Structure 1
Amino acid sequence: MLFLSWHRPSRKDQAACLNSCKDGEFNYDAKYKGATQKSPFSGERANDLKRDGFVTNHASVKLGSGKDVFLDGKKALQNWRHFQLPWAFVDASTPILEGTKVCVCAHELVAWIMNPLQVLYVDAKEPPKFPSRVDQNNHQQQAAFAFGSGTLRGHMLAGEEKFAVEWREDDSVWYEISSFAKPANFLSFAGYPVARLQQKMFAKQSLAAMERAVRQGSVDIHSQSAFSALHHRHPCT
Structure 2
Amino acid sequence: MTRLTATGRDTLNYPDRGATRHRPLPTGYNHLHHRARIGHGREVFETAGRAVSEFAVHRAAGAGVRTDGPTAPGVRVEISLGIGPLRISVPCEVIWVPDAADRAGFAYGTRTGHPECGEEAFLVELAEDGTVWFEVTAFSRPATWYTRLAGPIVPVLQLGYARWLTRHLRKLAARG
Q: Give me the TM-score of the superposition, normalised by structure 1.
A: 0.67
Gap regions ≥5 residues in structure 2: none
1-structure distance, mates of 2:63, 2:52: 15
Q: Which residue of 2 aligns with 1:152?
A: 111
SS in 2 for 1:125: coil
The structure where helix makes up a greater share of residues is 1
Deviation at 1:93, TM superposition (A): 8.3
Deviation at 1:108, TM superposition (A): 6.2
Deviations 1:176-220 (A, max 9, x none): 110001001222201233322321220110000100000111xxx
Change (3 A) 1:172 1:93: farther
Query: Amino acid of the residue matched to residue 122 of structure 2?
Result: F
Q: Which residue of 2 aligns with 1:19?
A: 7
Q: Which residue of 2 aligns with 1:107?
A: 82
Aligned with 1:37 (options 5, 12, 21): 21
CA contact (8 A) 1:144 1:164 kept: yes
Gap regions ≥5 residues in structure 1: 1-10, 40-44, 127-142, 218-237
Deviation at 1:85, TM superposition (A): 5.0
Q: Which residue of 2 aligns with 1:70?
A: 45
2-structure distance, mates of 1:96, 1:191: 31
2-structure distance, mates of 1:192, 1:102: 25
Q: Which residue of 1 aligns with 2:157?
A: 198
Q: Give me the TM-score of the superposition, normalised by structure 2.
A: 0.88
| Structure showing greater Rg | 1
Change (3 A) 1:199 1:120: same
Query: Amino acid of the residue matched to residue 78 of structure 2?
Result: C
Moved more, 173-182 or 74-83: 74-83
**Of the two structures, which has the highest relative contact order with CA contacts closer than 8 Å and spacing of 6 or more?**
2
1:123 aligns with 2:107: no
Deviation at 1:112, TM superposition (A): 1.5
- Identity, in percent, stands at 25
CA contact (8 A) 2:77 2:94 kept: yes
Question: What is the Cα-based RMSD across aligned positions, in Å?
Answer: 2.2
CA contact (8 A) 2:18 2:95 kept: yes
Count how many residue pairs are aligned between Structure 1 and Structure 2. Answer: 175
Query: Amino acid of the residue matched to residue 157 of structure 2?
Result: Q
CA contact (8 A) 1:88 1:105 kept: yes
2-structure distance, mates of 1:38, 1:168: 20
Query: Amino acid of the residue matched to residue 185 of structure 1?
Result: T
